[in-house]
Amino acid sequence: MNDNITSLAPSRWKVFQVLLLDGENTGDGSNSRHDGRDLVITDEQFRAFLERHRAQKSLVPEDIEAMKDSYLLLDEEMRFLNCENGDKKPGRSLLKVGVQTALDDAGWDENAFKERGGIFEWSRAVENREKQKKLDWLCFRSVMFDPQDLPY
């Protein structure tokens, strides 16, 4: 795998330890869409994988603890999904209550987001190009808009 990753030369190679969430990937009998139980590995197995691939400069590992509550997830109704209790509980739609109020329902841990490296430089030098491409990203918390401005 190391040779393939080196050949692909990704800017970031995110490696996740499987996080089970009730109602999403815990299998039959749990009202889940998927069954990820056979993909679960121990912390020791995860560390061993990371050790085997430590030479990859683009490697960005995220174990279960780093992922918990450090992502903002939205469903098709634009509701943040609160995963604090090991499931995905939808909050109020940001289309109805606005971003900040909807964020209050999200269960998002901003410190965990920062600690896992959620804020990083989204650009890299690319060989054989005159200019380095850059993506400018706004912090989601600072974006405010009127839901009535949306096309739907």
Q: What is the pLDDT along the chain (152 residues), one digit of tens a residue?
A: 999 999 999 989 999 999 888 888 888 777 888 998 999 999 999 999 999 999 999 999 999 999 889 999 999 999 999 989 888 899 999 999 999 999 999 999 999 999 998 888 776 555 434 433 433 333 333 344 444 444 43
Q: Whole-angstrom Cα distance, residue 137 to residue 125? A: 18
CA distances from 111 to 27, 68, 73, 106, 126 (A): 31, 11, 16, 14, 31
